Chain A
Amino acid sequence: GNSVTQMEGPVTLSEEAFLTINCTYTATGYPSLFWYVQYPGEGLQLLLKATKADDKGSNKGFEATYRKETTSFHLEKGSVQVSDSAVYFCALSVAGANNLFFGTGTRLTVIP
């Protein structure tokens, strides 16, 4: 089936620290991969995406590379800010299904 396994949180980092949130997946077909972010009090927003192997998605200093050989899509940022505090969800979509399969989410708190 289709599923996403995501690093459990919560994660607390100091400002300017390096961030990695691990995500691995299983899929019945050839998936597209996503990171969504949910800031406090707001709805889910697409952060970045990758639609084929070795693609790198990037946005707002965040990056993730689609690794087919390890079925992974880890989220990274070199220097986090307090404003990055949010819940991050890894997700996949398989062609023909269109709906998203989400991980359980990782809560990130960045302290000054």
Chain B
Amino acid sequence: EAGVAQSPRYKIIEKRQSVAFWCNPISGHATLYWYQQILGQGPKLLIQFQNNGVVDDSQLPKDRFSAERLKGVDSTLKIQPAKLEDSAVYLCASSLWGTDTYEQYFGPGTRLTVT
């Protein structure tokens, strides 16, 4: 079974530029999550999708971050404009919807450096 795919793996941009990350979850997983992991900290949830609807985006800085999940499969996370404090690893995870929704499967992450 293929795991969660993310691209790109690394990205370096200057502040005020825009950037987009892509995630392809495990086939059949209805729930998709984006987390931000700042160096030395644990991952923090940015947004959670159930199919193509948003379940929780309370921690998403909506003035600069946006995310969508077209057709309930792939998802993109965008930052525009980027700030220095956005430097982090952005993790995508997916899970089944049902009794084991808490068991999340993570992709390798995208390491973003904003200079």
Contacts and interface: CB of A to CB of B under 8 A. Distances in A.
B40 A100 contact: no
Given A98-B95, A99-B45, A105-B41, A32 B102 contact: yes
Contact of A100 (B41, B104, B108, B109): B104
Contacts of A100: 43, 45, 102, 104
A43 B107 contact: yes
B14 interface: no
Contacts of B42: 4, 6, 89, 91, 102-105
Contact of B101 (A44, A91, A98, A104): A98
Contacts of B43: 44, 89, 100, 102
B4 A43 contact: yes
Name which of A49, A91, A99, A100 has the most chain B CB atoms within 10 A of its CB: A99
Nearest to B33: A99
Interface residues of B, number: 25
B91 interface: yes
A43 B103 contact: no
B41 A104 contact: yes
Given A43-B4, A102-B42, A104-B42, A49 B103 contact: yes
B106 A104 contact: no
Given A98-B48, A104-B42, A43 B102 contact: no
A69 interface: no
Task: Give me the 10 closest cross-chain CB pairs, A-B, nearest first.
Answer: A102-B42, A93-B102, A44-B106, A43-B108, A43-B106, A99-B45, A98-B101, A32-B102, A102-B43, A104-B42
Given A99-B33, A102-B42, A105-B42, 12 more contacts: A6-B42, A36-B106, A43-B106, A43-B108, A44-B106, A45-B106, A46-B104, A89-B42, A97-B56, A98-B102, A99-B56, A100-B45
